[in-house]
Chains A and B, each alone.
Chain A
């Protein structure tokens, strides 16, 4: 819960396993692997991901691009295409769905991490409150249990799309402490994941 949750939509088992393995190593949590479009639609609801990695050519009635369109319309969470298709037609079609990134297979771990970081940061900034992050008092007024000062600091970082490791580096606290703070924030704000925190804050006045 406290980590950034990732949904992988990829019908190639070994590749999916590989991606999942690498992400788990660096403080992301793979909340699900969908091998087909139908499963993916299920998991978008059941697994509450913060970000989605989308293969374009997947099994099932809908393509990755169709899923991208649905995510944009219904879920408002960032997604990145992972695909071996770089032909013009596919790219033209894909870019219309406003993806936060487009990573070509085969990719290195570093390429994937960078793309995800940029995507999360952009998403956080695009969705942040226009008048800046609301003050602690302002937030606390809407909550039944108040956030602490430290938690507010962590929240500030969280709202810039940082992951737990990055927050721990900034706040000079351990990753585990960050996780605890994040868990506290999610519980107090009564939201399932980080993306929801950003959404909730952006709607606050």
Chain B
């Protein structure tokens, strides 16, 4: 509560210049602070602080830095109590920015450290990055490239973290510049190049121009003036495209300075003059003063010392009005040197005295030593050895304190000159030697630095080589690994496929073999079954034939006991019919083909038996047979056999008188429609009507069989004989005609 109250009071105090609305709210809050519940107080405190923060930001926008600073500070303290890291970051950021714009650089730096501290916790990397960049810029401006570099590296890290390519690229360039300032030229070059490439890739001309600027600086420091000028020209082009006037100006200036170094003062003046006009119109006083200095240098190069001095004085005026004491000191020194060069020692002394005073104000030993040396030199030129000696000795002591051999050398040289003037050559020689010794140390140091640099370069190159080698190896490994993975995959897949194919092949082979074996077995079974069936059929036909034979024998036996001739005839007729059927079955089981009967063989046997049965003398009645060889189905041959049996029996019984000569003929022929069967005799014929009306059993059977065969029957008969012709259609014969 105490803290809050303090914060609140602070608000009230600081807000009297802001808005009444906010003031009223804060007032209300303070008034009721003790009578409302704690959580509500917190709420109100929080919202009030947020309002304060907004107010502060608004003030900052308006440029009212002083008030904004106090509001930011109050808000920051309040948030600190609440522990709101994000809000702390925001308020600290605002606070620091305002501090910076009101020139309180050191305070600003301290607050930026807070921004970094809280921003990291709140994960507000953007502000952290910005804070680092500001710190590094300030360090750079204050001539501390090492600190600048450290902060820049951190800044670059956060740039990458928030993926801000633009800032990252410019940070790279600035890091390059830092290295340049630190004299690490290789690192500088690589960073500057890297920054340049990145900027080219993101196509931001403004950033590109800065990158070229850095590149130009790099080449200038390495002494490659042509390249440096080219880089600065590129920077100028980029700046013109980006329409960034200040950048155009600084590029122009940079080109000018390079041209001076390259001994082209006329051209240099052209560029610097343009820069001066530009900075003048744009209102950049410090840059403007810098151009003036540059112009002064050009004039002095060309021997127009008065003009140069004029420029320097103008610049001094600007610096005195607008800039820090540091620059003012530098300008005093510059003027002092310029006056010394033209021999105006009193003026030179005056300016050097001003410079010394500024250096003392700044408490800068280096600058003090520098100034002292200059003053000493001026006094030496004025033949005031005693005063000069004191100054040199002071510079010498500062130099030894700062461990700066350059100061030692210069001081010693100054002392030596004094001794020379005094004619004290021995002393002078001693001092000369001493100064040379110091120079040697400088040389040695330079040399060792150079060696170190060389070594660093070498190591770096080695490292690079090693890295690239490692990279190459890694790539190779990756490639191999990928290859081997591919090969492995291929092998595995191939293997599986091969296995499947093999398994399938084997399976098919096995199936085929099995099937083949099964087929062979089946075939065997079928063949066996067929053979069995044939055997069985033969057996059946045999049995049927035997049974019919038995019936025939039965009838034959029976006839022996009958006396009635009609009865004997009937039994004999029946016997002959049974015989004719038995013959068929005999033929069947004796032939190769169980399905068909060879008609010729059958008819021959049948007719022979009939002649035998009716005891016909073949000398009297001739048998004429004209049977075309053919095989017929049992279903067809049985009726045909029975028909022939009836017809021929009838002829043999009734056609011929005893001892009458004649013939009986049977003919069987294939025709287009089927089979033609003819039975004829030369005996006394009977009329067709007799056949039609005949109710005798024999003729009835013939009619029935003819009907069954769906055959046509035609009977012609007269005294010369009888002819019975039967056409049996093909469809009744079925098989194997």
Q: Which residues of A contact B (CB under 8 A)?
A: 11, 13-14, 16-17, 33, 35-36, 59
Contact = CB atoms under 8 A, between A and B. Distances in A.
Contact of B700 (A11, A17, A59): A17
Contacts of A16: 704
B304 interface: no
Interface of B: 635, 639, 700-701, 704-705, 707-708, 710
Contacts of A36: 710
A17 B707 contact: no
A33 B701 CA distance: 13
A110 to B, nearest CB: 24
Provide the main secondary structure of the chain A interface.
mixed
Nearest to A38: B710
A35 B636 CA distance: 13
Contacts, number: 20
A123 B408 CA distance: 155
Contact of B701 (A11, A17, A35, A59): A17
B700 A33 contact: no
Given A11-B708, A17-B701, A17-B704, 7 more contacts: A13-B705, A13-B708, A33-B707, A35-B707, A35-B708, A36-B710, A59-B635
Nearest to B577: A14
Nearest to A16: B704
A66 to B, nearest CB: 19
Contacts of B635: 59
Contacts of B639: 13
Most buried by B among A11, A13, A17, A33: A13
A14 B702 CA distance: 11
Contacts of A17: 700-701, 704
Provide the main secondary structure of the chain B interface.
helix
A84 to B, nearest CB: 14
B700 to A, nearest CB: 7
A13 to B, nearest CB: 5
Contacts of B700: 17
12 contacts: A13-B701, A13-B705, A13-B707, A13-B708, A16-B704, A17-B700, A17-B701, A17-B704, A33-B704, A35-B708, A36-B710, A59-B635
Contacts of A11: 708
A13 B704 CA distance: 6
A35 B638 CA distance: 15
Contacts of B708: 11, 13, 35
A63 to B, nearest CB: 16
A69 B295 CA distance: 133
Nearest to B709: A35
Contacts of B705: 13
B708 to A, nearest CB: 4
Nearest to B707: A35
A33 B704 CA distance: 9
B702 to A, nearest CB: 10
Most buried by A among B635, B701, B704, B705: B704
Contacts of A35: 707-708, 710
A16 B701 CA distance: 11
A36 B701 CA distance: 18
A35 B710 CA distance: 9
A59 B639 CA distance: 14
B219 to A, nearest CB: 113
Contacts of B707: 13, 33, 35
A35 B707 CA distance: 8
Nearest to B639: A13
A13 B708 CA distance: 7
B703 to A, nearest CB: 10
A65 B708 CA distance: 20
A202 to B, nearest CB: 36
A14 B704 CA distance: 8
A70 to B, nearest CB: 21
Nearest to B581: A14
A24 to B, nearest CB: 12
B476 to A, nearest CB: 83
A16 B704 CA distance: 9
Nearest to A10: B708
Nearest to A12: B708
A172 B710 CA distance: 45
Contacts of A59: 635
B150 to A, nearest CB: 108
A35 B701 CA distance: 14
Contacts of A33: 704, 707
A59 B705 CA distance: 14
Nearest to A39: B710
B529 to A, nearest CB: 20
A35 B700 CA distance: 16
A11 B710 CA distance: 12
A14 B701 CA distance: 8
A129 to B, nearest CB: 40
Contacts of B701: 13-14, 17
B680 to A, nearest CB: 24
Nearest to B704: A13
B418 to A, nearest CB: 150
A40 to B, nearest CB: 13
A37 to B, nearest CB: 13
B212 to A, nearest CB: 108
Contacts of A14: 701, 704
A33 B708 CA distance: 9
A17 B698 CA distance: 12
B548 to A, nearest CB: 13
A15 to B, nearest CB: 11
A11 B704 CA distance: 11
B726 to A, nearest CB: 15
Q: Which 5 A-B pairs have the closest CB atoms?
A: A35-B708, A13-B704, A13-B708, A17-B704, A13-B705
B712 to A, nearest CB: 15
A36 B639 CA distance: 15
A17 B708 CA distance: 11
Nearest to A17: B704
A33 B703 CA distance: 12
A155 to B, nearest CB: 35
A106 B705 CA distance: 21
A11 B635 CA distance: 10
A43 B119 CA distance: 117
A12 to B, nearest CB: 9
A59 B710 CA distance: 12
A33 B635 CA distance: 18
A35 B639 CA distance: 12
A13 B635 CA distance: 11
A59 B634 CA distance: 13
Nearest to A21: B700
A62 B294 CA distance: 130
Contacts of B704: 13-14, 16-17, 33
